[in-house]
Chain A
């Protein structure tokens, strides 16, 4: 399934990307310069001390009109982005929905939805990234997400939106991984680079959203990859004990509240084979980021449909793995050649939490 936008849609997408590029490349440096002036003034009234916490940074920032406008343009561009993507697909809705439901001929992989799966409350009450009707509430959610993401992140995630998947693959130790599982796979943007890095592995990928995995399946088949998608909850999967050699997630955990993360990590332990490896790629916690960048990162929590973002970036993730019984817990950085561009978390690379059962 390939979506080729007409010229009007393409021009609209160009406009949105232009807004976002303006914010990231022109407006952010301008904001930073203005902030530094305020920071100097702050230091003069605080015994020469500059703001040392994200709360103190926030006090200054919220008083700045430039900050308010910077974030308002960011938010408005995000809302506009989803709206125009949906508008561009609306004339083809029936045809696309029918194609998503139609079994793929000579499929390499598979897809299995579960109409009886109860979606957790924490999940259904959020429009993640402000995407209307979120991941689960519209049959075209996966198509819309796959079009939106490259615009949203200014193509930082590279070809086929696989950058963070390639970053994770680069730190997974070479070895034999007979069966592997991607938790919270979305449309499979990161599943594919990992599968490519581990040829010979049987690849499973699960997500709560039926629209996302239906599209993920079509997308993987179009790209000629053999992946088995199923609609499951990472907190309680249908897999047997000791099934997988490797279980991973990419930029997923911040979308789960801490309780669900604990349940998920315990579930990973259950379905991982003894000696199996688990690896989870995320942005670094606030403690590893400069207060200015942490404050900007934290904006997501209340303004971009990411209510669990703050708690996640203050969580003791290795501690949760320890509680679940894992050993050899370590955190390694995974570089992405694009991770700094336009990202307000600064130049911080990804952080991968790894452990063995």
Chain B
């Protein structure tokens, strides 16, 4: 088993970043689910868990998801675009 590498002198920062990115994952998945729920309600007025899990976006929607993904990352990491060195 490989020892966990650290990128910062204080491993607490690495740990914290892992927690933040896991949280980002949860938020991202919730956003995705919310988008599907909204779409389904709009289209059919009804939803089910099975429908959500089996959901397949259209190619056009894939493009929207990709744009949303890029924008999500840009917001998440906005701090890196600033004066940090």
Shortest B67–chain A CB gap in Å is 11
Question: A6, B53: Cβ atoms under 8 Å?
Answer: yes
Q: Which residues on A sit within 8 Å (CB–CB) of B5?
A: 75, 302-304
Shortest A128–chain B CB gap in Å is 8
In the complex, whether A48 has a CB less than 8 A from a CB of chain B is no
Residue of B nearest to A34 (CB): B85
Q: Which residues on B sit within 8 Å (CB–CB) of A26?
A: 73-74, 77
Q: A22-B73, A72-B7, A75-B7 are in contact. Are A37 and B85 (CB under 8 A)?
A: yes
Shortest A68–chain B CB gap in Å is 5
Question: B25, A12: Cβ atoms under 8 Å?
Answer: yes
Please report which residues of chain B, range 1-53, place their CB below 8 angstroms from some CB of chain A when the two chains form the complex.
1-2, 5, 7-8, 13-14, 17-18, 21-22, 24-25, 28-29, 32-33, 36, 52-53
In the complex, whether A7 has a CB less than 8 A from a CB of chain B is yes
Question: A66, B85: Cβ atoms under 8 Å?
Answer: yes
Within the assembled complex, what's the spacing in Å between the Cα atoms of A64 and B7? 11
Total A-B contacts with CB atoms under 8 angstroms apart: 103
Contact with B along A28-39 (1 / 0, CB 8 A): 001000100110
Q: Which residues on B sit within 8 Å (CB–CB) of A130?
A: 2
Residue of B nearest to A37 (CB): B85
Question: B80, A30: Cβ atoms under 8 Å?
Answer: yes
Please report which residues of chain A, range 29-73, place their CB below 8 angstroms from some CB of chain B when the two chains form the complex.
30, 34, 37-38, 64-66, 68-73
Q: Which residues on B sit within 8 Å (CB–CB) of A11?
A: 28-29, 32-33
Q: Which residues on B sit within 8 Å (CB–CB) of A70?
A: 80
In the complex, whether A274 has a CB less than 8 A from a CB of chain B is no
Question: B65, A76: Cβ atoms under 8 Å?
Answer: no
Residue of B nearest to A25 (CB): B70
Q: Which residues on B sit within 8 Å (CB–CB) of A14?
A: 28, 32, 65, 69
In the complex, whether A149 has a CB less than 8 A from a CB of chain B is no
Within the assembled complex, what's the spacing in Å between the Cα atoms of A151 and B5? 21
Q: Which residues on B sit within 8 Å (CB–CB) of A77?
A: 21
Within the assembled complex, what's the spacing in Å between the Cα atoms of A37 and B83? 12
In the complex, whether A21 has a CB less than 8 A from a CB of chain B is yes
Shortest A343–chain B CB gap in Å is 19
Q: Which residues on A sit within 8 Å (CB–CB) of B70?
A: 18, 21-22
Residue of B nearest to A71 (CB): B7
Q: A11-B32, A14-B65, A72-B8 are in contact. Are A66 and B84 (CB under 8 A)?
A: yes
Question: A68, B28: Cβ atoms under 8 Å?
Answer: no
Residue of B nearest to A22 (CB): B73
Question: B81, A30: Cβ atoms under 8 Å?
Answer: yes
Question: B24, A15: Cβ atoms under 8 Å?
Answer: yes
Within the assembled complex, what's the spacing in Å between the Cα atoms of A17 and B32? 15
Partner of B25, one of A15, A69, A126: A15
Question: A76, B17: Cβ atoms under 8 Å?
Answer: yes
A-B contact pairs, 22 of them (CB 8 A): A7-B55, A8-B53, A11-B32, A12-B28, A14-B69, A15-B25, A15-B28, A16-B25, A19-B73, A22-B73, A26-B73, A38-B85, A66-B84, A69-B84, A72-B17, A73-B17, A75-B5, A76-B21, A80-B25, A125-B1, A125-B2, A304-B5
Q: Which residues of B contact A (CB under 8 A)?
A: 1-2, 5, 7-8, 13-14, 17-18, 21-22, 24-25, 28-29, 32-33, 36, 52-55, 65, 69-70, 72-74, 77, 80-81, 84-85
Q: Which residues of A contact B (CB under 8 A)?
A: 6-8, 11-12, 14-19, 21-22, 26-27, 30, 34, 37-38, 64-66, 68-73, 75-77, 79-80, 84, 125-127, 130, 302-305
Not counting A15-B28, A37-B85, A303-B5, a sample of 18 additional A-B residue pairs whose C-beta atoms are within 8 angstroms of each other reads A6-B54, A15-B69, A18-B28, A18-B70, A19-B21, A21-B69, A22-B77, A26-B77, A27-B77, A27-B80, A66-B84, A70-B80, A71-B7, A73-B77, A76-B14, A76-B21, A125-B1, A126-B2
